[in-house]
Structure 1
């Protein structure tokens, strides 16, 4: 839910997938493999690492 809120923020929409109306299902389709540690590029798995930045137990940003 945090990622959905972030993707739909107006200041984020200016730069990131501005023509997509995100839903939890779309996020799961695109990013579920990221949780496992890879994404597909040209049908090849590419290792990645994801992070959530927090301050005082409040999530601030996803990387």
Structure 2
């Protein structure tokens, strides 16, 4: 991902996570990938970094089980 990531990109990915919420493993994987991509965009100099980060954190409002090892 590059610094050109938009809040619309994040919104589309949040919708995909929401659609996968009944498959915890898939939803969790999609959320992790979104976090990585948003962090990469911020590291690459995304101008709207705070907005991207806030948008990505909306994954926490999607109900699915999260597992940590």
- TM norm structure 1: 0.28
Which has more radius of gyration?
Answer: 1
More strand, by proportion: 1
More helix, by proportion: 2
